[in-house]
């Protein structure tokens, strides 16, 4: 979530409403002015709360920097403190504007709950938040985005809780209201289709997004075909996953700890190593369900070679 940029957009739109009519060029000028100093344009509690949230998220991000120097116990304690401080800051933002869905969402997520409790809290919040009523793609309306982010968090939490049909149901609704799928619900849906061994559903999803493929869907396809016992096709799909991005093989064989998404999936360049790390992390529930999948992947000589070369090149452990 780019909280600062959304703040800029929101302030500019509100200011335009006050001004009345404004040409496109005029609006572009206004956006530039707001971007220069957003706080000067904040004049409603909802934007005030968003400023508080943006500050809290930035503080949280900065506090991640020194983790590598900590031992396990120190890290656990630091992480707990950091998440708790973030939740407190979000609660303060919510006290400024109880309608700040993002602050409520981040606060719930920062409590680091198990999938059942997390889902219960997210669904409770969902009950209180109106779904966007927008003509066209809801993502294009910056005021609708918090609601969409909440939906995306519910989709991912369903997957983490091994509720795969519910994952698909929620993902379909989200992609229906925001077909551009900026939040990548299709990635989570691809994993759920693979886990449910639903090849027709998987293919239909792939077709809907122009068969372009991505790190998640390539990995999901390998898992799906493996589960269906089509091993040559599974091998080809695995190769497709590995060839799509640098370090994909390494990310699969050496999964990294990934912090809670606050509030949504961190930005990573398409087909980058960082994206592969995220895809593997999100795939953990479905990979763990296929106990010999990793051993099978590792037994492909080209995959292990690719992983070890990537490790050498980047000075990573192998």
Partner 1 sequence: MAFDPKREDYQRLALRFAHTLDAGDPASATHSFTSFGRRFAQDRDSLPQSDSDRAFHLVVQATDLLDYQLPFASEDSAAMLLSRGRECLEEALSLDPNCHDARRMLFSPTEAAFDARHQFLHEHEDEVGAACSAAAKTAAEDAEPERAKLAADIAMRPYLRWIASMAEVSLVCGRNRETISLCERLFSLDPHDAADARFTLALAYAKLEDDQGLDALVTRYSQLSPYRTPDDGWVLLSQLSLAHKRNDLNAARQILGRLIKIYPNCEYVLVRQSELPDGAFARILVTPYSEDEMILAVSEATVILQEGNDMTGRGVLGAWLAREVTALNPEAAEAAMRDMRDAREGGF
- In the numeric block, which tokens belong to residue 273? 């190593």
Question: Restricting to residues 272-301, which ones interact with partner 1 according to CB under 8 A?
Answer: 284-285, 288-293, 295-296
Q: Which stretch binds partner 1 (CB under 8 A): 9-17, 48-56, 108-116, 128-136?
A: 108-116
Q: Which stretch binds partner 1 (CB under 8 A): 60-68, 114-122, 233-241, 308-316?
A: 114-122
- Of the residues 99, 115, 132, 255, which one makes contact with partner 1 according to CB under 8 A: 115
Rounded to a whole number of angstroms, the minimum distance from the CB of residue 288 to partner 1 is 8
Give 69's DSSP letter: G
161 binds partner 1 (CB under 8 A): yes
Burial track 257-290 (b if 16+ CB lie within 10 A, e otherwise)? eeeebbbbbeebeebebebbbbbbbbbebbbeeb
Comparing C-alpha atoms, which of 212, 222, 223, 153 is closest to residue 188?
153
Rounded to a whole number of angstroms, the minimum distance from the CB of residue 231 to partner 1 is 10
Comparing C-alpha atoms, which of 35, 28, 50, 45 is closest to residue 102?
50
Rounded to a whole number of angstroms, the minimum distance from the CB of residue 166 to partner 1 is 6
For CA atoms 23, 13, 5, 36, give the dihedral sign: positive
The CA distance from 37 to 51, in Å, is 12
Q: Which residue number, 201 or 263, has a Cβ lying nearer to partner 1?
A: 201
Question: Restricting to residues 217-276, which ones interact with partner 1 according to CB under 8 A?
Answer: 227-229
Rounded to a whole number of angstroms, the minimum distance from the CB of residue 159 to partner 1 is 8
Rounded to a whole number of angstroms, the minimum distance from the CB of residue 163 to partner 1 is 5
Rounded to a whole number of angstroms, the minimum distance from the CB of residue 131 to partner 1 is 19
Rounded to a whole number of angstroms, the minimum distance from the CB of residue 289 to partner 1 is 5
* Count of residues of this chain found to bind partner 1 when the rule CB under 8 A is applied: 27
The CA distance from 290 to 214, in Å, is 21
The CA distance from 172 to 166, in Å, is 10
Distance of alpha carbon 80 from its chain centroid, rounded?
21
- Of the residues 7, 31, 83, 119, which one makes contact with partner 1 according to CB under 8 A: 119
162 binds partner 1 (CB under 8 A): yes
Q: Which residue number, 26 or 114, has a Cβ lying nearer to partner 1?
A: 114
For residue 263, whether the previous peptide bond is cis, meaning omega lies within 30 degrees of 0, is yes
- Of the residues 26, 114, 136, 270, which one makes contact with partner 1 according to CB under 8 A: 114
- Of the residues 165, 176, 270, 305, which one makes contact with partner 1 according to CB under 8 A: 165
Question: Restricting to residues 187-206, which ones interact with partner 1 according to CB under 8 A?
Answer: 196-197
208 to 172, 181, 211: CA distances (angstroms): 12, 11, 7
189 to 68, 135, 161, 288: CA distances (angstroms): 33, 24, 14, 17
- Of the residues 22, 33, 96, 123, which one makes contact with partner 1 according to CB under 8 A: 123
Q: Which residue number, 119 or 244, has a Cβ lying nearer to partner 1?
A: 119
The CA distance from 40 to 12, in Å, is 11
Q: Interface with partner 1 by CB under 8 A: which residues? A: 114-116, 119, 123, 160-166, 196-197, 227-229, 284-285, 288-293, 295-296
């Amino acid at each position: 979530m780019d909280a600062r940029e959304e703040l800029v957009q929101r302030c500019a739109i509100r200011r335009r409403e006050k001004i009345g009519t404004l040409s496109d060029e005029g609006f572009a000028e206004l956006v530039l002015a707001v971007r220069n100093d957003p706080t000067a344009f904040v004049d409603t509690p909802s934007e005030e709360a968003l400023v508080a949230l943006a500050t809290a998220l930035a503080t949280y991000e900065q506090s991640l920097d020194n983790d590598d120097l900590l031992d396990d116990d120190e890290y656990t304690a630091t992480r707990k403190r950091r998440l708790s401080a973030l939740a407190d800051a979000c609660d303060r933002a919510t006290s400024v504007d109880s309608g700040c869905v993002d602050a409520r969402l981040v606060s719930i997520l920062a409590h680091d709950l198990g999938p059942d409790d997390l889902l219960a809290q997210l669904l409770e919040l969902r009950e209180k938040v109106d779904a966007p009523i927008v003509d066209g793609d809801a993502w294009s309306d910056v005021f609708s985005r918090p609601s969409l982010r909440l939906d995306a968090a519910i989709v991912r939490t369903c997957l983490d809780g091994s509720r795969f049909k519910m994952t698909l149901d929620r993902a379909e609704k989200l992609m229906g209201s925001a077909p551009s799928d900026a939040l990548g619900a299709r990635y989570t849906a691809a994993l759920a289709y693979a886990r449910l061994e639903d090849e027709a559903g998987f293919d239909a999803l792939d077709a809907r997004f122009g068969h372009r493929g991505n790190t998640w869907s390539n990995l999901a396809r390998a898992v799906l075909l493996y589960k269906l016992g089509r091993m040559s096709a599974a091998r080809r799909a695995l190769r497709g996953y590995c060839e799509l991005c640098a370090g994909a093989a390494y990310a699969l064989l050496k999964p990294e700890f990934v912090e809670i998404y606050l509030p949504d999936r961190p930005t990573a360049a398409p087909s980058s190593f960082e994206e592969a790390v995220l895809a593997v992390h999100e795939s953990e529930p479905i990979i763990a369900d296929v106990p010999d999948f990793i051993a099978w992947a590792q037994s492909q000589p080209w995959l292990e070679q690719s992983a070890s070369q990537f490790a050498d090149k980047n000075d990573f452990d192998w």
